[in-house]
Structures are given as structure tokens and as C-alpha cells.
Amino acid sequence: MFDNKNKPKGLKRVYLATLNSLRAFNWLMKNEAAFRQELLLLIVVIPITFFLEITIKEQLILIIATLFILFTEVLNTAIESIVDRVGLEIHPLSGLAKDLGSAAVFISLVIAVCTWAAILI
């Protein structure tokens, strides 16, 4: 049971938070094809940015724009997990929550494409 009054502090909190994050990334790698695809995209584009004739600031912007896709995918997966935790029956609000999470991922993809286009064109 979670004890809200006796939470870890300092470096122990950072250590435990890191373990939780690593467990989440491990779960995402095993269970979420979209996350794996977007991670592969990031792994491909990071080296590409080193061969482009752009400033370090522009390179960082391109990498962050691609990282933002992963960020929204993690949030989308969290939303889907919460909805499934509440109930697996089909409900309009459950579908809406999942669709909104998907829309957030789509918007992050548009942002990344626009960012790449703006810097490279």
C-alpha cells in the first residue's frame, strides 16, 4: 500500500524514480509497436543530424522535435492503460479518451515534420 506520508526523499527518490522509468521503458519496448517504431525513427534521425549543414541549435531542435513524438506516445499509452484499467467494455468516453491520445501523437508527428521541413528547406 502506498504511504503518502512516508515518501522517499533526496537521492533515494531519484533512484526509485529512475527504476520506475526504466521499468516503463522496458514495458513499452515489449508491448507497444508504435513506441518501438518511433524510437527507431529517433535512432535513425539523430545520426542524420550530424551530417546536415545546420547549426548545433538547429540540430538540437530537430532531435527534440523527434523526441516529442516519443513523449506523446508515452502519454497516449498511459491514457490507454488508465482507460483499460477502468473497464474493457466499449464506452463512448473511453473511445474518446483513446482517440484524443492518438490525436496528440498525430499532432506531435505534424510538429516534427513541420520542424524538419522548416530547418531543411
Q: Which residues are catalytic?
A: 73
Angle formed at CA 101 by CA 98 and CA 103, multiple of 5 degrees:
110
Output DSSP code: residue 5.
Answer: T
Only one residue has cell 530537430, namely 62
Buried/exposed 23-46: b ≥16 CB within 10 Å, e otherwise: eeeeebeeebeebeebbeeeeebe
